[in-house]
Structure 1
Amino acid sequence: MAAVLNNRYAIVAALAIVVAILPLTFPSGYYLRVASLVWVSAFAAIGLNVLMGKAGQVSLGHAAFFGIGAYAAAIGPSHFGLPSWAALATGACISAALAYLVGRPILRLKGHYLAIGTLGFGVLVALVLTTESRWTGGPDGMPVAKLTVFGWRIGTAYAWYWLSAAFLLVGTWIALNLDDTPTGRALLALHDSEVAARVVGIDVARLKLRAFVIAAVYASIAGSLLAMMNGFVNPDLAGFQHSVELVTMVVLGGLGSVVGSIVGAAVLVVLPQALTVFQDYENLMLGFIIIVSMVFMRDGIVPMAWKLLARAR
């Protein structure tokens, strides 16, 4: 079982099969929309898992990069006449540069000081997006131009399902292949022991910064995709609550597990839709289920599931 879980070819192939089969079971376009939200959220969670699960660094302001990507997709076409795909790439570059500049001082912190530092950065970005109404539309947000590729305007739920799934497959493949690179092996050493990593000659500060930049780019691309899919963006995408949701996806699915990030995103996106029958008790039920999951599955859903299967065998 563990061999399958660690086989990147098997994981990507299984994910591709799931992506191909799901639309055949959906009774309406609404389910395509929910699935697209899962793919986009999972893409962002995979990037954050590189930072938290592999590098062992906590970020409570990661939605800031999500918001930067979302607003890049909105501001680029409306204010500068950029094509939508160019705005997406621009947002990723801005997020990478900002992560590099901000990460150098913030990642020197440890523990709860690091968490507070990233939280402060997230609050600052959300504040800028809220107050700079001339560029961002302020608290009310602003419309976003639909993505157009080679003259084809992507606007249907069916098209967005396949586009978001394609990004997820590519993002999953890159994250899985990271483990076989020198950077990936150094990240594993860093996660086990920062002191030991330093002893064997690993540049810990540089490695943390690299993971921070990778996670920021993932979040920015996911933000751009969601903004173009919704056709609208507001500062809530960069807010603290969204940062907590991203962290919950990673922890709930399983730290260090790419598959866990996808499962965690699916749970956190689909579960609220399923709990709407409880109306006023929806948030209460969601919180209760998450608490129970974390109490009985401390390693996350996917690692615990594989342990149970291994014991059963």
Structure 2
Amino acid sequence: MRTGHMKLSPGQLIALSDSRVVWGWALAGGVALLLLPFAVSNYGLTLVVSAFVAVMGAVALNMLTGQTGLISLGQSGFLAVGAYANAILLSDYGLPVWLTLPAAGLATALVSLVVGVPSLRLKGLYLAITTLAFSFIINHAILYAEPLTHGPNGIFVKGATLFGLDLQRGMPLYYLALGLTLVTILAALNMTRTRIGRAWIAIRDHDIAARAMGIDLVRFKLLAFAVSSFFVGLAGALLSLQLRFINVDVFGLILSIEALAMIILGGLGSIAGAVLGAVFLSLLPEALRLFFGLVSDPNSTFYTNYVFEIRGIAYGVVIVAFLRFKPDGLIGMWRDIRKYWSNWPLAY
């Protein structure tokens, strides 16, 4: 039985995992995800794709806030840039989707540098307010740049095909979302093992000490904004493919709040925690719908009439409960459970 975590070589220190059990479960999970479309309905696939979009956004935000310590409330603005860039290139210019997706990420990364520059002198609440103001600026720019963005009329997203497959419906959309999500998670995991990832963590823990150690704060803070926003832009592009029609109303402030809540509930600074938090919060509304369907009259319209109020209350209760009783989040709960069973029957 594996009883410790002692590393005996540099390779073990930088490996994603040196546990065969972990790799075995990862392989089993990958196979299950590949076979999932054959076991669930189209509605279930829609829920899973929405969860994938949430995972991509949460993992990307974790790079910026969880690892670098730069609090951002501008995720809705970055999502809007990625979604509109993808929609414009697809629908108005007819570019292939394999070009529009990375282009959407690059456009978002470039725009993020405009927000990243103030971060060189701001942090904490001041930086959060700056990024929040950015999201409002983006929405207003979209409204008034009507020749490019179609303004308040929105854009119908069409033309996303690859090898003759329509990437905006059913299984093709699912597998595209799965591929992009895996790329995002693997990129984040590998980034933490590099000099860049270690520099981000040093900046988060103590930026003055990091500067004294020779870390270029300007370079690495801007890099954190750019890399994080690139993957948020990909998530926005995927969201536009799923929704098929986008306008500024889709990218409200609630998206930024939900993204921040996901990484807090999952466990701030943990990539696995970001994944767990994103899946948990994205599927919470569906769990509430099923719960009210069981305990109330099926013909009652109570839940449908007050769905947003009920969801908001549920989000608030969950966040307060975790911050009060489990500040380490879902990943902290998992570590406690794993530690308990590793030490059983001597656990206490």
TM-score, normalised relative to structure 1: 0.91
Q: Is the 2:37–2:45 contact (alpha carbons within 8 Å) kept by the matching residues of 1?
A: no
Distance, in Å, in 2 between the alignment partners of 1:98 and 1:220 is 10
CA–CA separation in structure 2 for the residues paired with 1:267 and 1:76: 33
Paired residue for 1:17, among 28, 31, 52?
28
2:300 corresponds to which residue? none
* Cα distance change of structure 1 residues 192 and 103 upon mapping to structure 2, 3 Å threshold: same
Q: CA deviation at 1:192?
A: 1.8
Matched with 2:326 is 297
Larger radius of gyration: 2
User: Aligned to 2:133, what secondary structure does the other structure show?
Assistant: helix
Report the alpha carbon displacement of residue 153 of structure 1 after superposing the two structures with TM: 2.4
Paired residue for 2:127?
A: 114
Tell me the CA shift for residue 284 of structure 1. 2.1
Distance 1:142 1:118 in 2: 25
Indicate if the aligned counterparts of 1:77 and 1:84 stay in contact, CA closer than 8 A: yes
Give the whole-Å Cα distance in 1 for the aligned partners of 2:72 and 2:142: 19
The reply to whether residue 101 of structure 1 matches residue 114 of structure 2 is: yes
1:46 aligns with 2:59: yes
Partner of 1:158: 171
Structure 1: how far apart are the matches of 2:64 and 2:251? 18
Answer yes or no: is 1:287 the counterpart of 2:308: no
* Partner residue, 2:253: 240
Q: Would the aligned equivalents of 2:262 and 2:277 in 1 still touch at CA under 8 Å?
A: yes
**Unaligned stretches of 5+ in structure 1?**
none
Q: Which of 94, 102, 109 is 1:89 aligned to?
A: 102
Report the counterpart of residue 75 of structure 2 in structure 1.
Answer: 62
Q: After TM superposition, give the deviation of residue 26 of structure 1 in Å.
A: 4.1
Select the structure that is richer in helix. Answer: 1
Alignment of 1:1-313 (within 5 A): 8-9=16-17, 14-15=25-26, 17-22=28-33, 23=36, 26-276=39-289, 277-278=291-292, 279=303, 280=306, 281-312=310-341, 313=343
The one-letter code of the counterpart of 2:88 is I
Q: Distance in 2 between matches of 1:288 and 1:120?
A: 27
- Note closer, same or farther for the CA distance 1:179–1:113 as it changes in structure 2 (3 Å cut): same
For the 8 Å contact 1:46–1:262, the answer to whether it is kept is yes
In 1, the alpha carbon distance for the partners of 2:258 and 2:15 equals 28
Task: Compare 35-44 and 213-222 and name the one that shifted more.
Answer: 35-44
- CA-to-partner distance for each residue in 1:194-222, whole Å, 9 max, x for gaps? 12111111112221111111110010001
User: Which whole-Å CA distance do the structure 1 matches of 2:249 and 2:120 have between them?
Assistant: 25
Secondary structure of the 1:60 match is coil
For residues 39-77 of structure 1, the C-alpha deviation after alignment (integer angstroms, 9 at most, x for no partner) is 121011111100011101100112211111101111112
Segment of structure 1 superposing worse, 278-287 or 89-98: 278-287
Tell me, yes or no, if the aligned pair for 2:168 and 2:244 is still in contact at 8 Å: no
**C-alpha distance in 2, partners of 1:24/1:123?**
37
Cα distance in 2 for residues equivalent to 1:253 and 1:197 = 27
Name which of structure 1's ranges 201-210 and 124-133 shifts more when overlaid on structure 2. 124-133
| Contiguous gaps of at least 5 residues in structure 2 | 6-11, 293-302, 344-348
The structure whose RCO (Cα within 8 Å, separation 6+) is larger is 1
Aligned to 1:8, the other structure's residue is in SS state coil
TM-score of the superposed pair, with normalisation by structure 2? 0.82
* AA matched with 1:307: D
Equivalents in 2 of 1:120, 1:230: separation in Å? 25
Letter in 2 for 1:111: G
Provide the secondary structure at the position in 2 that maps to 1:126.
helix
Task: Give, in angstroms, the shift of residue 290 of structure 1.
Answer: 2.8
